[in-house]
Structure 1
């Protein structure tokens, strides 16, 4: 796989998955414009994640059945239509439906990731997957910065309109750049393809362990960023959406720093790397929790959190792609579906914990979930727990 193609995949995957997160720094603005409560607008994040989980379950497996040179651009075009519907939404219900459609159609990034594994050799697969997965997390964070800046200058609807145009452009570029590969499971029916995802989960212990870490990781990640919007938009900060969006820069630093996790996988040290990543996440919650009213500590917590979450995600996904070269899209379906179910849980938990006890309650819950993940790593590593 050439380096330019690798970075194109990273950019496209980041733009695709980033579409799921434009609303997060805009929650207060959307609530004011549509005259709804913080609790109601917080559910927009949840329905988007649920839609994404559905897209992962029912569309991403097609990467093992259909020509991805066609499938990926088509999904980008459908995503553009859904983003355009968000820009035109007259009320909260319509916006929720449109964001659900964004979630369902914005799966190109998760078809590109196993394609990266297919186009890479064994010696560099971890590095290549690390770059593309880093592109995804970077896209999530850049989306927040972009959304805050554009919403402050031109309104939240323009954010979704520009994203729709970007999706159309990337669709054309990818169609020209993606090499044509023969489908790996063309003999399977669509129903058999979907059933085989569950069979892989039942059969492969490494997949189940990676999925458990993925659920916990994205629950923690989404909880942090959802609650951070509430923290920064209220006293003592009272930051505008543009300032909130710039906190994504700190996360972007963490995402870029975590790229080297792929090299740990290529050198055979992925298991110990996952444990170290969860230690970093716990430290990040401690820093951000105690520093909730200090910007410097919040920024430091963001960097450390994103290094940890991104690192464990790259290592887990690289390990998943080792299981079967013939079923990478389906393996990715199982892994990412778990991630974004975790994301939906995290956004709901953040809203509930914020209402119950503010930033302190969110931080304690996030640290607790991260500690559960570390205990799970210890138990599965020494054989005390058989998932």
Structure 2
């Protein structure tokens, strides 16, 4: 039976809880909740062609839908995620779930491109706030020696959610149209509201929480002072730009001749990526053992190499599948290690550290989505692959240049 209340400490943990590892059932619960939350940010990716036809959006600029979602992600990281270091997290999550459900209904009913973009911004806003709030919650409950494992499990849920979101969106869109995807999203948010309300233990807010303005100022201080955050954030930005470039542009060649695949078929490639993502979730254990830098180098190598088989898409679907596994393995391993290393810095500022790091993520994802659709419009799939490989190589070079000198 999970506790209904946890006494407040500066790091959010009661003295008696510190020696006790987090229950496996709670870790699984947080991972599943992360998956369902983050899916809202990625439902649109396999639906871009259908949305473009519905609203008459040119193919070269349809990536702006993803960019609007990522703008909502960035807004959430600055305005909502830091609130977890001030308010009781369970109540904050409940409010965000209600707003997420309302926003999903608004997207499903959007009559114009402008209102659609506003709704997509809201999906990014509340979907991201939920996801990152849950990760910070997990990091707060975890002991320092198991934080990498727990964050890795939660991040594994995030990865599975963002990949399977494409599969679910494709299946629902083929059966009932793209708007039905967001109706289903609203129903899932309502179910989560009941489920998490019954199962999540509450973590009391700090007895003397900083003001909201002080929280925002402290985020600027973290960005300016924490070198680990700066370095791992930039690596994450470049990695996520490459990751987003692939997944945002994939629907364009696969939905056109000679493939002419359905949305369900395109979304099924998310299942392929899940193989690599599940393996990457264990990368947090390497960070716990002090092997984060070595694992990062290997992961970035996988990310760069993945673009070689991905570039064979016109002639080999098997090569594309192999490339997706490498892409997700490398990219998500970097993401897990980044978070594990960053969250070790200041236990009392987990929400703000997550928010700061994910600002890099939102910037990279938004840039990758917009740049990839422009690259595809001008140079086809080879242009997308060149863009992704260049970003991956730049991430590896930056990592090598910032390695601590012994």
- Give the TM-score range, shorter chain: over 0.9
Which runs of structure 2 are paired with 1:38-187 in the superposition (5 Å)? 38-106=59-127, 107-184=129-206, 186-187=208-209
State the Cα distance separating 1:39 from its structure 2 match.
2.7
- 1:375 correspondence with 2:389: no
Matched with 1:16 is 37
Which stretches in structure 2 are left out of the alignment for 5+ residues?
A: 1-21
- 1:6 correspondence with 2:27: yes
2:246 pairs, out of 212, 215, 224, with: 224
Rounded to whole Å, the distance in 1 between the matches of 2:208 and 2:353 is 16
State the Cα distance separating 1:252 from its structure 2 match.
1.0
Rounded to whole Å, the distance in 1 between the matches of 2:270 and 2:232 is 26
Rounded to whole Å, the distance in 1 between the matches of 2:223 and 2:51 is 39
Matched with 2:4 is none
1:306-357 per-residue CA deviation (whole Å, 9 max, x = no partner) reads 0001100000000011001000100001001110111000111101111110
1:149-191 per-residue CA deviation (whole Å, 9 max, x = no partner) reads 0100111111100111101111221122222222247431101
> Contact 1:236/1:293 (CA < 8 Å) preserved in 2?
no
Rounded to whole Å, the distance in 2 between the matches of 1:185 and 1:25 is 45
Cα distance 1:224–1:185, how it changes in 2: closer, same or farther (>3 A)? farther
Rounded to whole Å, the distance in 2 between the matches of 1:376 and 1:186 is 40
- 1:343 correspondence with 2:365: yes
Rounded to whole Å, the distance in 1 between the matches of 2:265 and 2:291 is 39
RMSD between superposed Cα atoms in Å: 1.3
2:331 pairs, out of 283, 299, 309, with: 309
State the Cα distance separating 1:292 from its structure 2 match.
4.0
> Contact 2:59/2:377 (CA < 8 Å) preserved in 1?
no
Matched with 1:364 is 386
Rounded to whole Å, the distance in 1 between the matches of 2:93 and 2:312 is 43
> Contact 1:185/1:326 (CA < 8 Å) preserved in 2?
no
Cα distance 1:193–1:240, how it changes in 2: closer, same or farther (>3 A)? same
- TM-score under structure 2 normalisation? 0.92
Cα distance 1:184–1:270, how it changes in 2: closer, same or farther (>3 A)? farther
Matched with 1:189 is 211
Rounded to whole Å, the distance in 1 between the matches of 2:251 and 2:270 is 11
Cα distance 1:280–1:292, how it changes in 2: closer, same or farther (>3 A)? farther
Rounded to whole Å, the distance in 2 between the matches of 1:206 and 1:89 is 42
> Contact 2:85/2:209 (CA < 8 Å) preserved in 1?
no
Rounded to whole Å, the distance in 1 between the matches of 2:131 and 2:313 is 34
Matched with 1:262 is 284
Rounded to whole Å, the distance in 2 between the matches of 1:272 and 1:378 is 11
1:168-216 per-residue CA deviation (whole Å, 9 max, x = no partner) reads 1112211222222222474311011001001011111011011101111
Rounded to whole Å, the distance in 2 between the matches of 1:144 and 1:110 is 20
Give the secondary structure class of the aligned counterpart of 1:231.
Answer: helix
Structure (1/2) with the larger helix percentage: 1
Matched with 1:329 is 351
1:285 pairs, out of 307, 317, 337, with: 307
1:11-58 per-residue CA deviation (whole Å, 9 max, x = no partner) reads 111111110111110111112222332234321111011011101111
Rounded to whole Å, the distance in 1 between the matches of 2:320 and 2:401 is 31
